[in-house]
Amino acid sequence: MWVFPLSAAGVAGAFSLSLSRGWWAKRRPNLLAWAVALAMFALASGAAAWGLFWGWSGGVFRTYYLFGAVINVPVLGLGSLYLLAPRPAGHVAAAVVAGAALWASYRVIGAPLNQAALITSGIPAGSAVINEGSRALSRIYSYTGFVVVVGGAVWSAYRLGRRDQANLRRLATANALIALGTLVVAVASGFARYGRGTVFAVGLLAGICVMFAGFLKTRPGPG
C-alpha cells in the first residue's frame, strides 16, 4: 500500500516544481501559493509512504498530519484568493495564513501522541493518535480553506454569467477543477480517518492531478 502514497508524493513534488518555475518566470503569487501547497502534499504523502513501509514514529505522524490534514488546504485557498482578488487583499490573507500555520505547527508538534495507536500496518486514525485540540484545528483550517476554494469557483462562475469573456471562462474552469480536486482530497482524507489507507492514497493522487489541471488552466493561452 505504500506505493500509492509514494506515487502521490512524486507527482505532487513534480507538479510543485513546475509551478515554482512558473512563479520564478512570471512572479505570480498564486503560482507560489499553489507550489507550496503541493510541496506540503508531497511531504504528507512521503511521510505516509515512510510510515507504511518502515513503521510510524511520532515525527513521521506529525509530518503527515500537519502538512496533509491541517495547513495545506488554507494555502490552496490563498492561491485562489491571489488569483481572483486584488493583490493587497492577497497579501493580507498571506499574513493571516502564515500566522495560522505557525500556530498550527506549534500545536501539532507539541501535542502528546498515543504511541500505541502508531503501531499499525495502515495509516493511523488521527482520532486515535492526537488530541482533540489539534483535530479541531484540522477541521477549522480545512473547512475554511475549502470554502475559499469553492467560493472562488462560484464567484468566477457568477462573473462569467454576467460578462461572457474568454479570460473569465478560463478562470471559471480553472477554479472548478481546483475545487473538484480539493473535494476529492478532502473525501480521501475522511477515509484515512477510518483506517482506509489505500482509498486515501489513491484519492490523494487523483485529487492532486485534478488540481494541477486547474492550476495549468490559470495560465493564459498563446496569442
Taking the C-alpha atoms of residue 18 and residue 135, their distance in angstroms, rounded to an integer, is 32
Threshold 0.75, pTM exceeds: yes
The SS3 assignment for 180 reads helix
Whole-angstrom distance between the N-terminal and C-terminal Cα of the chain? 45
| 36: confidence class by pLDDT, cuts 50, 70, 90 | very high
Taking the C-alpha atoms of residue 158 and residue 173, their distance in angstroms, rounded to an integer, is 12
Residue 130: strand pairing partners: 113
**Residue pLDDT, tens place only, 45-101:** 899 999 999 999 999 999 999 998 899 889 989 998 998 889 999 999 999 999 999
| Average pLDDT over every residue of 157-174 | 71
Residue found by looking up cell 509551478 in the block: 19
Per DSSP (E only), the strands in the chain are: none
Helix (H) or strand (E) holding 130: none
Q: What is the DSSP letter of 68?
A: I
pLDDT reading at 223 higher than 60: no
Mean of the per-residue pLDDT values of the chain: 86
The answer to whether the CB of 111 falls within 8 A of the CB of 130 is yes
Taking the C-alpha atoms of residue 82 and residue 64, their distance in angstroms, rounded to an integer, is 26
**Torsions phi, psi of 32, nearest 5?**
-65, -45
Taking the C-alpha atoms of residue 8 and residue 1, their distance in angstroms, rounded to an integer, is 12
The SS3 assignment for 113 reads strand
Looking at the chain, the whole-number percentage of residues with pLDDT higher than 90 is: 43
CATH class of 3-203+212-217: mainly alpha
Taking the C-alpha atoms of residue 208 and residue 137, their distance in angstroms, rounded to an integer, is 22
The SS3 assignment for 57 reads coil
One-letter amino acid of 215: F
